[in-house]
Amino acid sequence: MRLSSLWVGALVVLGLSFSHGASAQALSAAQDFADLSASAEALADNAAQNSTGGLASVFARQRCVSGYTFDGKQGALALTVGMTNYRLFNPDTNSFDTVSMRSYNGCPAGPTLSVKPGMRLDVTLNNRLPAESPATCPPNPDPAAPHCFNTTNLHTHGLHVSPSGHADNVMVSVAPNASFDYRFEIPASHPAGTFWYHSHQHGSTAIDVSSGMAGVLIVRGSRTAAARAANGGIADIDTILHRRERQQPFREHVMLFQQIEYGCFDNATASAPLANPATQAWVCPPGGVGEIRNYTNQLNFVADPRPGHAGEFNSTWAISGRYTQINGVVQPVFPGVASYVPAGEIRRWRMIHGGNRDTINVKIVRANLPALGLADSPALSTGDVDSATRAAASRLSAAHGRAQQTTLDALCNGETVKQVEIAVDGLTRASMVEKDVNTLDPGYRSDVLVAFPQPGLYCILDEAASAAATINFRRHSASVKDRRLLAFARVGPGTNIPAYVDDGLGHSKYWQYVRNQLVDANQNLPRDVLADLNRLDTRAFAPPRVTDGVPARTVPVAFDVDTSSGAPHFVINDRLYDMSRIDHTATLGTLEEWRVSATVAGGGHVFHIHVNPFRVADVLNPAGQSIYDSTGACTQAELATGDAEYCTQRDVLRDTVFVKPGYTLVLRTRYEDFTGQFVMHCHILDHEDQGMMQNVAIVAAQGTGSAGLPAGANGGNGANGSKLAQLLKPTGIAALPVIGDLLAKLFGTASNQLDAALAASLCKGSR
């Protein structure tokens, strides 16, 4: 195992006083980007970040580890859950707020874990949160009400691994002062890609993830296109993402987007966050400590008290005035306040929406330097970029709340830098696509190649959008999502991207530049693969297509928020979640079609299913018509809606997808390799915690293996293969699922039924 990238002081604003005198002092008004990539380059960059004092964050003392790289057949680490105090920048007040959040290892984000196909990852989860009481964690909690905030577990989002026993088992509950040993056996056939992990305890998932209990998990691959036959038809796109010179891999940056909806309160029992009486934005007084206390006045939809929003019901996230952060930093400077990305250098951005409260529309535009009183040219020096950074930081620091929107409109209106997307939800696309705006909903991942065209300052934006295209839209809600700054990007001298001649196919200079660089650097590819790459066709590196054929059945999945009884009920197919009920049962190896819809009244929802990804076969508009024409492109009618998110989704393989109100998504999935019980749910996690989840059980055909194991396997890491010594190691309620497995062997009872019975009988004594 290699330890990577100590982000010492990376969460520190290096001082708030601002002067146009010394460059170092002026640049210290901005926050350094903290790279979560587990690479030597990230290590060097992060180590260069340091504090000049004054506002030193707790992380400067704790030396948070940004990543671990596991090189062997097995890797191991511990994640300890506890409460941690640290500072977050608040652009609304241009100051720092102290917050107290649930965290992994005392850091605002968990470490990035880099693994390989065919290896085993062992994770010991230690829960050191305060003890629960029967009032906060009742023995038989209402599955439609948030509960047990200090009980947790672990989910590897997007990994194709067993859902049983000590693997990706979200039926496990790890109570305070308990520990649980996870063993994730990553199949040798697993695709390389960007995944993530987070807490998944029903009843407290949202409060955990909204506190920052999430981390990135990267599967790195080295299987070449030339050796596809020997590797079962699998090749990894990682093997072609390099420069022509010395075959150096593209530099990568890991960007974990989080949305920490903290509030400060009058006293220990208050439930409503303190707010600015004029704007209703949440505020923290001197000495106040921000918290996430409940799902009533936080993590919710409420009557909007803001001026100009009378009669609207909006997300508390929008009302709060909080900002999306990147790797624990609000509005950082990328790649750092004293470093630059060379113009023309292609870099891989691994973007992960690890938040819960808002859709993110990532857009990169060149800053308007004349608007800052500075001259612009294609040949700016690093000193010019320093001046632009100082001027932009000064301009933005003087604008708060709505005024910052006006400032961004004037400052961030230059050329749009296209993002060339190579993978969705960790799975390589069959062909790369270029995007002006990259829409990320909770749980999404997007791998893109980015090259800046020339030196200068650039804005990384969360672009404005129609609220109907976001997760925060319902009837009687605001109609527009505001534009926000995610980060500034500093680009220094390098090789400017030339203005290519129009190729007649609508491809931008960015697409052509990336294509030419990749083709030039990969002349040793098999002839057919190289010919495909000349069109940025990457089907040779995409996962094998397993969703062709005739589905065994069609399964309706209807998301809705039922308010017929007054209080909202978050339901799927008109049912609230019941842990003891299996909602869907299928046989290993079968192909199914799922028709996933969201009602207009209930707003949009984010569909996610564990273990097996799905292919987006079609998208039907509210009239029941496909939004795609015969070529697979969006129809003019769909383009006229102004929301093109689905236009690059047909036939894409993924594990999480936004379902717009009134739309129906036709998804196809094949249940491969693993039997056992897992869940599908809305990834707006407060919806999940309040009942918008269902259980799925995959059973083996007769004689094909044990629960949680590949067909033909016996023993080992599956639900029926745990050894007694391993069963006794965890403490508290965390051991229940494996105890249930043992009793199932002895008495022939379904293990999930025994788990529920044990939980009911033992929960009283374990809390």
* 8-state DSSP, 682: E
Q: Which of 136-145, 331-340, 493-502, 677-686 has the highest mean pLDDT?
A: 677-686
H/E stretch holding 416: strand 416-417
> Is residue 262 in a domain?
no
Beta bridge partners, 547, equal: none
- 695 vs 583: CA distance, rounded Å: 5
Where among 710, 728, 751 does a domain terminate? 710
> Is residue 758 in a domain?
no
Residue 195 φ then ψ, to 5°: -130, -175
pLDDT at position 704: 54
pLDDT tens-digit series, residues 657-676: 999 999 999 999 999 999 99
> What amino acid is encoded at 763 in this protein?
C
pLDDT at position 60: 38
pLDDT at position 504: 86
CATH code of the domain in which 588 resides: 2.60.40.420
> Is residue 147 in a domain?
yes
pLDDT at position 755: 41
Where among 224, 240, 269 does a domain terminate? 224
84 pLDDT more than 80: yes
209 pLDDT more than 60: yes
- Least confident window among 10-24, 205-219, 610-624: 10-24
pLDDT at position 2: 65
More confident residue, 87 or 739: 87
pLDDT at position 43: 61
**Average of pLDDT values for 332-340?**
93
How sure is the predictor about 28, in pLDDT bands with cuts at 50, 70 and 90? Answer: very low
H/E stretch holding 521: helix 509-521
> Is residue 57 in a domain?
yes
> Is residue 97 in a domain?
yes
- 750 vs 480: CA distance, rounded Å: 49
* 8-state DSSP, 255: E
How sure is the predictor about 400, in pLDDT bands with cuts at 50, 70 and 90? Answer: confident
> Is residue 558 in a domain?
yes
Q: How many CB atoms lie within 10 A of CB 284?
A: 23
Residues 389/367, Cβ–Cβ less than 8 Å? no
Where among 710, 741, 760 does a domain terminate? 710
Number of domains in the chain: 2
Range of the domain at 51: 2-132+143-224
**Average of pLDDT values for 718-739?**
35
pLDDT tens-digit series, residues 338-355: 899 999 999 999 999 999
> Is residue 40 in a domain?
yes
Upstream peptide bond of 335 is cis (omega within 30 degrees of 0): yes
> Is residue 618 in a domain?
yes
